[in-house]
A = this chain, B = another copy of it.
Amino acid sequence: MASRTPDKEAVSELTTARLSVYLRSLTYLESIGKKTVSSHELAERFHLNSAQIRKDLACFGEFGTRGVGYDVCTLKKELVRELGIDRTRNIVIIGAGNLGMALADYHGFNSNGFHIAALLDNDGEKIGRTSRSGIPVIDASRTEKVVRENNVEIAIIAVNPEAAQSVYDGLVHAGVVAVLNFAPIQLRLTSGVKVRNVDLRINLESLSYHLKNVEDGVA
């Protein structure tokens, strides 16, 4: 297979994050029957610069038509392919607490390329139950088996910060290659395993910082 773009991994995470946003917008445009869209139109939707959108897309090839714009359907398919969600990836969530349960039933985590295979927990009370949408809670001691049998690539860590490191190490050992970590700690990483951290508290503190400055008459 001929590789169109050399140096693929040189695409920044900022760019891939925006691709996700573009994809959502294209899905919407497709649903309302729009055939073509220009970078300028897309830019207006999210207060972005049109050149940035063109640059982002240019990382993967030339999809537009000069004088016209981008074909919505074609571009959407291309983004789906580039983001690697043209096939389904299996996920386990570790920690069947409030957050883990909520994420298990979160629609965006269980559609269009992602499938949550199981919740894992070591609380005997929870094991054997299911989330509202029917995802089973399995004994965390069976993590390795669940990961292998379900061909799980991604794990979501939704345990308390004290447990997170050992949970992470266990997941890596079980063969997981990507982790979404909700525990507010800096994990000691294993090379070859991609980790993304989501720190919910930081967002609140950032808002608080802003509020304080408003009070102080700065903004």
What's the nearest-Cβ distance from chain B to residue A16, in Å? 5
Q: Which of A121-129, A143-151, A166-174, A201-209 lines the interface with chain B?
A: A201-209
Q: Chain A 175-219, CB within 8 Å of chain B: the 1/0 string?
A: 001111000101000000010101111111111111111111011
Q: Is the CB of B205 within 8 A of A85?
A: yes
CB within 8 Å of B: which A118-136 residues = 132
A28, chain B: closest CB distance, angstroms: 9
Q: A13-B206, A99-B106 are in contact. List 12 more A-B contacts (CB 8 A).
A: A9-B213, A9-B218, A17-B206, A20-B202, A24-B184, A84-B213, A85-B205, A99-B102, A102-B103, A108-B200, A154-B207, A198-B198
Binding site for B on A (CB under 8 A): 8-9, 13, 16-17, 19-21, 23-24, 45-47, 82-85, 89, 91, 98-99, 101-103, 105-106, 108-109, 113-114, 132, 153-154, 177-180, 184, 186, 194, 196, 198-216, 218-219
A-B contact pairs, 15 of them (CB 8 A): A8-B213, A8-B216, A9-B219, A16-B206, A20-B202, A20-B206, A21-B186, A84-B209, A84-B212, A89-B208, A98-B101, A102-B102, A108-B200, A113-B208, A194-B211
